[in-house]
Amino acid sequence: MTKKRIIRNIFFLLVMLLNVGCDQISKNIAREKLNAYEPVSIIDHYFTLIKVENKGAFLSVGSALPEFLKFTLLSIIPLLALSYGIVYLCTRQNLSKINALALSFAIGGGLGNIYDRIIHGSVTDFLHIKLGNIQTGIFNMADVSISVALLLFILQAYIGSKKPKTINI
């Protein structure tokens, strides 16, 4: 492996770890400073902090599953997929910088939430945005990382679609 490749891998692994770190620090603050289900308005009810413990996946899907099945589906299988993602990120030669960055954000966010499920038995969510009739579910910084990853993947797809196509005759 070349020195350039090693530096690139270290950079993207650091991005991943920074995502996990920001997520875990913010969740620890939320656990210590917020009371469950008591909203704290930050920006005139547009941005609210409200701590909930999510025992399922996105929007609590799967929270009623038996514990063994829930642990397998929401922790073990995603952990295996994220492990594969790390190997893919570090070994793939032709991965664009935007896609590598997106993958780093996605893996970092996923690891943050899986860490919560394994260590705390649930994922701490605490952020809520409401803009008129439009509002989010309650989410956390890991979810923000995953959303940023999605936007970066879409950006890469858009940029890739704008490149001129060559036709071999």
pTM over 0.85: yes
Pairing state of beta strands 40-43 and 47-54? antiparallel
Residues annotated as part of the active site: 125, 143
pLDDT for the residue numbered 168: 63
Residue 62's pLDDT is: 76
Amino acid at 78: P
Pairs from 71-78 (Cβ < 8 Å, separation ≥ 24): 71/117, 74/117, 75/114, 75/117, 75/118, 78/110, 78/114
**pLDDT, tens digit, 9 for 90 and up, residues 65-114:** 888 888 889 899 999 999 999 999 999 988 999 999 999 999 999 999 99
Contact criterion met (CB below 8 Å) for 72 and 114: no
CA angle (64 as vertex; 22, 136 as ends), nearest 5: 45
Token pair listed for 31: 């656990």
Q: What is the mean pLDDT of each run of 10 residues along the chain (169 residues)?
A: 91 98 98 96 93 84 82 92 97 93 98 95 96 94 97 92 65
Q: What is the pLDDT of residue 93?
A: 85
Cβ pair 143, 57 in contact under 8 A: no
Q: What is the CA radius of gyration of the chain?
A: 19
